Structure 1
Amino acid sequence: MYPYPTQLNTLLEGNLMDVVLKPQAITTDNHPTPILNNVWVNKTGATNGFGGYIAYIPAEKSGIVILANKNYPNADRVKAAYTILESVMTH
């Protein structure tokens, strides 16, 4: 989850294979998190040669799902989604 509006470079860095495949440090927060609307929420995924990407922006009531019959690199999926969503956003 990233603050919205966000930059393409931020999304690309957050979806690098090192981030996706290697353990990442976490911290425990026992306080309830308020509902956030001004965020870009995303998730990459792939299995058996297929690839996907989902992103949504609650504040804009918009999102995108990309499904492919080929496992395209995460960066390509993120760039495509960013380009499409940014072209229709009104912020």
Structure 2
Amino acid sequence: MNDDHDLDWYRAQWNELVDVLAVEDSDAVVSEVRRLRKQAEALSVQREVLVEAGVENPEKALRMIENMADQLEELYAERDHPDLPVKPEEETNGTSG
């Protein structure tokens, strides 16, 4: 804490904090800060899990999840309709040779 600031500075900071947190009283500020701290801790744990999985950013994780969901959808469609012919991936993408 910086002792160079006067009471007006601290009041201004408090008012800005109340505005940023969109709360109306001091009790709500404390509970909102605690909620945000808990959320930040959870995000930190999730980030560690992603890094351990070799995923550096959330966008890459989302792409991986979307790809897995697409693959599962295709597998379920094949399972539900075994009578339909299954084409190799190269043929469905038009890259066969």
TM value normalised by structure 1:
0.26
Larger radius of gyration: 2
**Greater helix share, 1 or 2?**
2
Structure with the bigger RCO (C-alpha within 8 Å, sep 6+) is 1
Q: TM-score, normalised by structure 2?
A: 0.25
